[in-house]
Structure 1
Amino acid sequence: MTGTISRTAFEIFGIDIYWYAIIIVSGVIIAMWLSSREAVRAGLREDDVTDFMLAGLPISFIGARLYYVLFNIGPYLNDPIQIFNLRSGGLAIYGGLIAGGLWLLFFCQRNFIPTWTFLDIAAPSVLIAQGIGRWGNFINHEAYGPETTRSFLENLHIPNFIIENVYIDGAYRQPTFLYESVWSILGFILLIILRRKKGLFKEGEVAISYVIWYSFGRFFIEGLRTDSLYLFSSIRVSQLLSLVLFLGGWFLLIWRRKKNDRLKDYDRTQGENQYII
């Protein structure tokens, strides 16, 4: 027995529509909506986010897939066509972030948009999208941890439908997807609250704080996962990258402050009559 929740949400013309796709797309839509609202508050156009996402979304998906395939290349060498089988899952968040980040740099330079401002606008929304997207892993019965007991899960006050669905291959599993989802959502809430405090963040520091927050949690959560991608068969790729990003984020935060004492505050009050969130 592997879980209790079907991967299929419904069927259209004989084609199964998976919950995984619905959840991922829902997270992206919410992230776009929140980013668009924040863009106007920060003095940019709402269309800037839409224009960015038109190419940024497919680029990010390609990056997420390539990252997963490159660090799990064995099965795909035997059956290369499976590289394009996204319906079975196999997307790596870090790959999507790397590809999307490179596109963002190009997009901002081409459209004369301040890069750090755009990153600050997007960062919290990316966190909520990640938090939502992890539930796609839950439905797919992936991104779980080692064996545990039902009593351990019940003591965490986890809802029963989650406990039942992490009964995989004859054992209850640590719901690492849930740990990361909660961590990402908490980070989102924290950043949008702190972002409203005038003068707290300098330009670029919302984005850097996102990197520090997410990489810190991911480092420990990745250490629990049983489906990690490995480098040289012994180093968890995402754990190593998390460590680099965490240390790099703190270095960049401190270095920017020391190098330039005239950094602009992150200003989210340039738009008029905007929303509260």
Structure 2
Amino acid sequence: MGSSAALLGRFQSPGAEIVDIGPLTLRWYGLLIASAVLIGVTLSQYLAKKRGVDSEQLGDLVIWLVVGAIPCARLYYVLFEWESYAGRPADMIAIWKGGIAIHGAILGGAIAALIFARLNRLRFWQLADLVAPSLILGQAIGRWGNFFNSEAFGSPTDLPWKLYIPLSQRPAGYRAFEYFHPTFLYESLWNLGVFALLLTLFFWGLRHPQKLKTGTLFLTYMIAYSLGRVWIEGLRTDSLMLGPLRVAQLVSLAEIGLGSLGLVWLYLLRRPLPDVVKQPSKATSNAPQTPSERKPYDP
């Protein structure tokens, strides 16, 4: 019993590096991001097949998302931490050391997806729905990169699941404290719950295609993820700040508002969300089509 209590009281990262072979260093952060992308591609393509959407297009889209999301996630973080990076510009691209912002990734990914949808004449909201479960699952996986880097932790705590942070990683003003809230774990578990919610909605929508409107999954993702982020961010000691305000909380509140307005638009006003490609009319949808032209019905 005593050893179990001691184990719970010493939740600690084993280090950021997996193996170091000469000039080659394999880090947990990079491995987790790569794993999240691979799992995300596989899941998105599986969901696309279930919806009758070309899975190869989802594979192409993921490449665009990675190219748009990761640089924007890093740029977003660096801009809000400019004082820390102004004197060491080489570290601005050292993404393997940590320091990316999911809201920057969402913004960059959304821009990339809009361009991809426009170029390929695809419906943005349909693509967003198919990507949303993979996105939140990837976030759940990626948060463990923060654990291995001993970053993104919360305020000091003495709870049984407290996280030990080495002295070198503790922020100024917290040097005397050893144990902190594992906010990376809170968010990872929350994200897994959102993932389960989105998959439940997705498969419910397959059985009730007239009831689940296009865009619902992504809007639900925006609201559900942001609800968790608001309270978890309040525990952190390393939040990106805009004066006295936590940027992530402000953005999360905005996403909750926008997501809620989107659902009102869909279900109370009964109108489709604005898209880069117009929704086909019922007459067009019901017209005979060749196999290459046929599109799945999507409310």
If the length of structure 2 is used for normalisation, what is the TM-score? 0.80
Matched, 1:97 2:97: no
What is the alpha-carbon distance in structure 2 between the residues aligned to residue 74 and residue 223 of structure 1? Answer: 22
What is the alpha-carbon distance in structure 1 between the residues aligned to residue 223 and residue 231 of structure 2? Answer: 13
Distance 1:248 1:101, change over 3 A: same
Matched, 1:204 2:202: no
- 1:105-146: CA deviation from partner (whole Å, max 9, x where unpaired): 110111111111111100011010000000000000011000
What is the alpha-carbon distance in structure 2 between the residues aligned to residue 216 and residue 42 of structure 1? Answer: 28
- 1:45-74: CA deviation from partner (whole Å, max 9, x where unpaired): 111122112232122110100000011110
- 1:166-205: CA deviation from partner (whole Å, max 9, x where unpaired): 3443411100000000000111011101221133421110
1:212-231 pair list within 5 angstroms: 212-231=223-242
Q: Any conservation in 2 of the 1:2–1:141 contact (CA below 8 Å)?
A: no
- The offset of 1:5, in angstroms, is 0.5
Q: Any conservation in 2 of the 1:60–1:97 contact (CA below 8 Å)?
A: yes
What is the alpha-carbon distance in structure 2 between the residues aligned to residue 16 and residue 261 of structure 1? Answer: 52
Q: In structure 2, what residue type is equivalent to 1:184? A: N
Matched, 1:143 2:141: no
1:21-40 pair list within 5 angstroms: 21-40=30-49
Q: Any conservation in 1 of the 2:13–2:150 contact (CA below 8 Å)?
A: no
Alignment match, 1:76: 85
Match of 1:174 among 165, 176, 181: 181
Indicate the percent of aligned positions where both proteins have the same amino acid. Answer: 35
- The offset of 1:23, in angstroms, is 0.9
- The offset of 1:86, in angstroms, is 1.4
Distance 1:244 1:262, change over 3 A: closer
1:119-158 pair list within 5 angstroms: 119-149=128-158, 152=159, 154=160, 158=161
What is the alpha-carbon distance in structure 1 between the residues aligned to residue 19 and residue 90 of structure 2? Answer: 25
Matched, 1:254 2:264: yes
For CA contacts below 8 A with separation 6 or more, give which structure has more relative contact order: 1
What is the alpha-carbon distance in structure 2 between the residues aligned to residue 196 and residue 86 of structure 1? Answer: 36
For these two proteins, the number of residue pairs brought into alignment is 255
**3-state secondary structure, aligned to 1:9:** strand
What is the alpha-carbon distance in structure 1 between the residues aligned to residue 122 and residue 67 of structure 2? Answer: 21
The structure whose Rg is larger is 2
What is the alpha-carbon distance in structure 1 between the residues aligned to residue 81 and residue 72 of structure 2? Answer: 14
